[in-house]
Amino acid sequence: MATLRGLNLDESTVKAHESLVRSAIEGDEGAMKELMEISYSSLYRFLFYLSGSEPLSQDLTQDTLLKAMETLPQLKEPAKFKSWLNSIARNLFLDYLKSKKNQSHEDWDDESTITSINSQALSEDEQQDIWLIRETLQKVDPDYREVLLLVDMEGASYGEAAETLGVSESALRSRLHRARQEFLSHYKKLDKAS
């Protein structure tokens, strides 16, 4: 079983996705559109948890998809589309943070971020859990947050996450271990306080 967009998929589904990527690379506009549509929610979720801002996540998701459409013909390995797309998103987010005009980006406390996940369908306990996870993620070192988001929330393999972050797989495993420890420490403190 392989993973794609955080889901366990059979080999035929993975091959169909790779075929879609190949068709898009070759200029098939329908394949390109479908590829961007199926990538949107996973990409948005990754950027939302990375940035903590719904408007910023929407902007960066659009920017990422535009850049991906422009540079897709340069992708040499269709099987690595997901990690390639996440790398673009990550780099655009880092560029945003580095730009002088955007020194302070919106905070997790923004009401739109608290309610952006369909909270009507969630119980009060589930909403509290989501709030607690968001608050905890905000306290985690950004490098660790990226690893947690990619591996634990998006279901990326260690290899995919390492490629996205530009580190070796052993460095990723080490970073993930420390990230989980830091997350748990912050989570316990926040859970006690709430």
Q: In the chain, what are the domains?
A: 2-193 (1.10.1740.10)
pLDDT at residue 10 in the model? 57
**Chain mean position to CA 4:** 12
User: What is d(CA 100, CA 98) in angstroms, rounded to the nearest whole number?
Assistant: 6
For 68, half-sphere exposure in the C-beta direction (CA atoms, 13 angstrom radius) is 30
Lookup: tokens for 167: 């580190």
Task: State pLDDT tens for residues 81-134.
Answer: 988 999 999 999 888 887 855 554 444 444 444 444 444 455 777 777 778 888
pLDDT at residue 101 in the model? 54
Report the alpha-carbon angle 122-127-129, nearest 5: 125
Residue 94's CB is within 10 A of a number of other CB atoms, namely 13
Burial of 190 (0-12, 13-18, 19+ CB in 10 A): middle
Q: What is the pLDDT along the chain (194 residues), one digit of tens a residue?
A: 344 434 444 566 667 888 999 999 999 999 999 999 999 988 998 898 888 788 999 999 999 999 999 999 999 898 889 889 999 999 998 888 878 555 544 444 444 444 444 444 557 777 777 788 888 888 999 889 999 988 988 888 899 899 989 999 999 999 999 999 999 999 999 888 87
pLDDT at residue 135 in the model? 86
The DSSP string of the chain is -EEETTEEE-HHHHHHHHHHHHHHHTT-HHHHHHHHHHHHHHHHHHHHHHH--HHHHHHHHHHHHHHHHHHGGG-S-GGGHHHHHHHHHHHHHHHHHHSGGGSSPPPTT-HHHHSTTTGGGS-HHHHHHHHHHHHHHHHS-HHHHHHIIIIIIT---HHHHHHHHTS-HHHHHHHHHHHHHHHHHHHHHHHHH-
pLDDT at residue 116 in the model? 46
